[in-house]
Amino acid sequence: MCRRLIWFAEIERETYRQAGFLVPRQARMSEARYGFNLDDVLLHDLGLPIGGASSHYIFISAFCCSTLLARLLDEAPNCLVLREPGILGQLAMVRYRPGTPEASAEREKDWRTWAGLGLRLLTRTFEPSQTVIVKAADVCNTMGDVILADDPRSKGVLLSVGLRTFILSVLKLEDRRKWTRRRAAFWHKTLRLFPALNGVNVAELDDARKAAYVWLVTAALWDRFRKQADPERLLLMDGEEVSEDPARALRNVTAFFGLPLEESRLEEISTNPVLSHHAKFTDRVYDAATRRSDRADWETRFGAEADRAMEWAAPIQQALESDGVKLGAMAGVEGKEVLQCSA
């Protein structure tokens, strides 16, 4: 944005189905790159009629079976699914920056201009009848209010897993631990909206507590989002529902988005090999039973660390609630999972 440039690359239709993430490192794109001045693209955009394809969004906590849900939606008629498009993540990460209130207000005004442009660029489809479904990266939780305000037709699913499941999901893989360290550091540096989280010394936390911190940030952002949005435009969903009964989860999401899905087509999707393989590692056999077995293994290996992290998170949750932040949008909260530990 400082250089006022935007770059485009051609992507084949099949790439949208195959790529786990729509960023250059993860998706096959044409070698040719086309660079344009941002202001020129904005001027062109302002001259276009209001409209474009309908778009709906899946907001995530991370590690919540969102890629599986996106792959299911790939099979639904007339859906163009975008998995974590880079432009949306870039916009989300630059919305909040440290600075004086005056500078932040001016930056917000400028940022909203570019956010509107980015959102409109995401509504281009291969066929006029298609609806765009965006699985947004977790950082996009900073801009849920702007996303829904951009188009009154848009709706959003808030997809998460409970705190304990999230912690265990992070601890099981080294690359997820590294991701969590980076994300926790990023949130602590840039996001100063919630006093109960501002005082956390992230650098001194172990990986389990950093995972809890990231989960709490998502909870706080979603509470803020829900207070600004029409409740009829948001659907809360537990990622475990997607894992345990994918067909039912797909039926619920398509019905909420207003997408036609005949029962016969749903039955076909229910037998699709996508349901018996890992959503991100498609050559690996993986289903609900495998996930349950894995969960038991995670508990054996990392349960004690998860206990300590949840104990650490409990007073922060209470402080957030004292500040008026309700965590009810997050999976597991109604069962007081934050305050529970295993035997």
Can you list the domains of the chain with their CATH numbers? 5-339 (3.40.50)
Give the list of residues 6+ apart from residue 70 with CB closer than 8 angstroms, or none: 58, 81, 83, 133, 135, 279
DSSP element (H, E) containing 4: none
- At 341 the pLDDT is 38
- At 343 the pLDDT is 31
Give the three-class secondary structure for 60: strand
- Give the separation between CA 69 and CA 207, rounded to whole angstroms: 27
291-294 — which CB contacts under 8 Å span 24+ positions? 291/243, 294/172
- Give the separation between CA 239 and CA 163, rounded to whole angstroms: 12
| Placement of tokens 């790529």 in the chain | 19
Strand partners, 81: 133
Sign of the Cα torsion 274, 259, 88, 140 reads: negative
User: What are the tokens at 254?
Assistant: 């398509």
How does pLDDT run across 265-293, given as a tens digit for each residue?
Answer: 888 888 877 666 555 656 666 677 888 88
- Side-chain-side CA neighbours of 161 within 13 Å: the count stands at 21
Per-block average pLDDT, block size 10, for the chain (343 residues)? 88 87 82 91 73 90 93 92 94 84 81 91 90 96 94 96 96 96 95 92 97 97 95 95 91 95 87 67 68 87 97 96 90 55 36
Residue type at 119?
L
Say what the pTM is: 0.91
- At 26 the pLDDT is 78
- At 339 the pLDDT is 44
- Give the separation between CA 298 and CA 208, rounded to whole angstroms: 13
| Placement of tokens 């960023």 in the chain | 23
- At 220 the pLDDT is 96
- Give the separation between CA 252 and CA 249, rounded to whole angstroms: 5
Q: Buried (b) or exposed (e) across 174-197, using 16+ Cβ within 10 A?
A: eebbebbbebbeebbebbeebebb
Sign of the Cα torsion 122, 273, 276, 11 reads: negative
